[in-house]
Structure 1
């Protein structure tokens, strides 16, 4: 059962410090060279710290936290960077918007986070359109919240029922249509 979990769920908890240091560095838009210059430590050593191969000393952790402008507790995962959490309240979201191509969309996220992750609910039309095919950067994940849908790619159609999920590169041309009276699909897109 444990082997069926994704790697990030099976990871050793001691890797958390390494992940937090790397995340704080990337949040600043810094390269390892930038961090190396700021804390006056070897780039190779910092790379090993970020991969969990070396454990930094207390003074190194203090220097890293100062340079990255984060509390030391954040590096240990005991405190969360406020800008890392984004809440979208249902009562303040706009109602689903009808589009000319027959899709109704309800944005769940703003896409303004550092990850470039966007999420929305889609209420697809009952037919595929010859005039519209989505394609974009990043990965796409579809999860059927209710009803049944079909996803059409260039060479195949994939049927999905409530509870089914489908992941694929966004660069593939694709369309979604409902095959029941009502259908709702949660779609998330990562853009990096």
Structure 2
């Protein structure tokens, strides 16, 4: 297994290794300090490794793979962690009435975890005075069918089928459908 490891990293290979080490660390929910302690390595050095500014030795790569509990091949982009790919089958999802009083319905496309969540939403017919959404991260809305309006504090944006909008989640916002068949794909980044 070790005969295919590079003796010297090319810039693209070094960046790939850096991204995979960082991704494996974040998957464990560890800070750079925690990885530094677990691997017995200097935090500043690890920071440079994760940014692709420093090429680790083969021994360091093997140590990091062990501590991060991933195959060495994953750190070199030769394997994908099974949890990195999530499939959401249409026949196993259920649409939930998020607001049974004639409000919106949601269908979750993602199974939690990670920094992004996806939904299909059938919006309410009307804006309400008491319901506004705001959250960390970014949000993207893509209109699958029909037309919708997105209300912010100072404006209303009309979106037609296949239109999309992106905005910081911290902005107070509401979505309503202006056609009976409207549905919206929502992607929310929590980072």
C-alpha contact 1:138 1:170 (8 A) present in aligned 2: yes
Aligned position for 2:104: 103
Mapping of residues 83-162 of structure 1, within 5 Å: 83-97=83-97, 99=99, 100=101, 102-111=103-112, 113-115=113-115, 117-162=116-161
TM-score by length of 1: 0.84
Aligned position for 2:72: 72
Structure 1 position 98, deviation (Å): 6.0
C-alpha contact 1:101 1:132 (8 A) present in aligned 2: no
Consecutive unaligned residues in structure 1, runs of 5 or more? 1-11
C-alpha contact 1:120 1:186 (8 A) present in aligned 2: yes
Structure 1 position 96, deviation (Å): 4.7
Shift of the 161–13 alpha-carbon distance from structure 1 to 2, 3 Å rule, reads farther
Aligned position for 1:170: 169
Number of positions where the alignment pairs a residue of Structure 1 with one of Structure 2:
180
C-alpha contact 1:101 1:129 (8 A) present in aligned 2: no
Consecutive unaligned residues in structure 2, runs of 5 or more? 1-11
Partners of 1:73 and 1:16 lie apart in 2 by: 12
C-alpha contact 2:142 2:164 (8 A) present in aligned 1: yes
Aligned position for 2:189: 190
C-alpha contact 1:145 1:184 (8 A) present in aligned 2: yes
TM-score by length of 2: 0.85
| 1:167-192 C-alpha deviation (Å, 9 max, x unpaired) | 11222221111222311100122224
Partners of 1:72 and 1:171 lie apart in 2 by: 39
Structure 1 position 38, deviation (Å): 2.6
